[in-house]
Amino acid sequence: MGQGTTVPVVIASDHAGFEMKEYVKKYLTEKGIPFFDAGAEKLDPHDGYPQFAFKLAELVASGKHSRGILMCGTGIGASIAANRVKKVRAALCDSPDMARMSRLHNDSNVLVLGGRTTTQNVAAEIMDSWFATEFEGGRHQGRIDEMDNHC
């Protein structure tokens, strides 16, 4: 996925990840990557991460969007919530190497960023790595199938 892709990436955040989401929108626009913003629409402290994590995860799980980027304050709550949706493999990444491995071995389809714990420069490096890395498949595919078919 990268420049010229036609399937929009879905993005979402709660209030604590809102500023990072606004940065992610700028990043995606500059890279020519189309996106759909699933909220929050404004900085409102009453907007909690579960509602936005579930909305984004359901859009990815349904196949409407192949990938998503999700943010909350630390990324922990959003990643826990998103991973409750079957066929979602949300990875909280705080380095480009973690993002690369989440794609290479785990075929992560949701990248989670901590809006209060990750700088914009590091977030850009993480996204660069995540978008540039394809799933390796092979021995890892069986593990993905096991997770996707559990429950």
Instruction: Give the other-Cβ count within 10 Å of 135's Cβ.
Output: 16
Is the preceding peptide bond at 40 cis, omega within 30 degrees of 0? Answer: yes
Contact 6, 34 (CB under 8 A): yes
Q: What φ, ψ does residue 22 adopt, rounded to 5°? A: -65, -35
Nearest alpha-carbon partner for 48 in 72, 77, 20, 14 = 14
Task: Tell me how far CA of residue 83 lies from CA of 26, 30, 36, 127, in angstroms.
Answer: 26, 29, 20, 19
- The catalytic site residues sit at 72, 105
